[in-house]
Amino acid sequence: MRICIVGAGAIGGFIGTRLARAGSHQVGALARGATLTALRQHGWRLRQGGELLNGAVAASDRADELGVQDLVVIAVKGPALTEVARGLAPLLAAHTLVMPAMNGVPWWFGRGVPALEGAPLESVDPGGEIARAIPMAQVIGCVVHASTFTSEPGLVEHKMGQGLIVGEPGGGESARVRELGSLLAQAGFEVTVSPDVRKDIWYKLWGNMTMNPVSAITGAPVDRVMADPLVLAFVSAAMREAAAVGAQIGCAIEQTPEDRHVITRKLGSFKPSMLQDVEAGRALELDAIVTVVCEIAQRVGVATPNIDALLGLTRLFARTRGLYPA
């Protein structure tokens, strides 16, 4: 297969390296700047379990140089996706599958949901530009359960987890998703083929929506957030609101916040991606993780005062540091 990773950062580099080492696939990268330079010099690089893994890569900052692909994995940060989507056409043919491996709610999430289908989710797809650039029929839903970071451009460090959930955006099963799941499993990922990937996306968001921004604005790793009873009570209240929103869009949560806290505590001390972005001076993925929840809540008529407060605080924090547009 011809595979292209769009955005060879922490997650993109993780997936790209593993796929490049899995067999006879040609795994290229659409990248830029220091990451592109590093890929051209060193190839794919992933440090995992004390071992440095390498793989060959054809890397370019021009999609037309890479050509039509069988699979395009999009792993850019949310704020960059609209611009990236404008240049994807040379990678896409009618048979190309597009798998976004990104944080939060994707641009296609509202399709097929009566309460949301009338208009694009402006917080993640302003004006529907991404949906026009990437045909819905070619999209495969994906949820990543892994913690990685880049210690330098082009060098990915794996901390924990290697789970990938894949599924048809509209639900159900298909041969193409089973084949993609097999491809990813051969690369060493722990793959789940989901009959309802939208629910899996919302479930992951249910935790990330609070822990990511709270950690970002306080500078505290997750274990310290969990250890503060007042902060944890606020987190739980916001999670109950998000669960109420999910119930209105076919993404019911079958746990309580306290159930989820038990799972989170088992992960120990770690810095969520949004705190890592703050420390690195990168733009925050606030819209796909928090803003979109407020937008969906407004459209389905669910009050979310705690999520609204979390959005306001994090947005102001990020704007004062130049990490979110004014």
Tally of domains in the chain: 2
- Indicate the pLDDT class of residue 87, thresholds 50, 70 and 90: very high
Give the tens place of pLDDT for each residue, 129-151. 999 999 999 999 999 999 999 99
In this predicted structure, what is the pLDDT of residue 121?
A: 96
Tokens of 114: 């009566």
Residue 296 sits in a domain whose CATH number is: 1.10.1040.10
- Is residue 8 assigned to a domain? yes
Is the residue at 326 inside a domain?
Answer: no
Mean pLDDT on 26-55: 96
Residue 46: pLDDT over 90: yes
Number of H helices, E strands in the chain: 14, 10
Under the banding of pLDDT at 50, 70 and 90, the label for residue 295 is: very high
Average pLDDT over residues 67-71: 98
- DSSP string over 291-310: IHHHHHHHHHT---HHHHHH
- Whether 23 shows a pLDDT value over 90: the answer reads no
Element housing 177 (H / E): helix 175-186
Query: For all residues of the chain together, what is the average pLDDT?
Result: 96
Which pLDDT value is given to residue 24? 81
End residue of a domain, out of 161, 195, 229: 195
Range of the structural domain that residue 302 is part of = 199-320
User: Does residue 313 form part of some domain?
Assistant: yes
Band of pLDDT at residue 48, cut at 50, 70 and 90? very high
325: in domain? no
Residue 204 annotated as catalytic: yes
Which of 159, 199, 204, 271 is labelled catalytic?
Answer: 204
Per cent of the chain over pLDDT 70 is: 100
**Least confident stretch, 68-72, 133-137, 267-271:** 267-271
Angle between helices 257-265 and 197-218 (to 10 degrees): 70
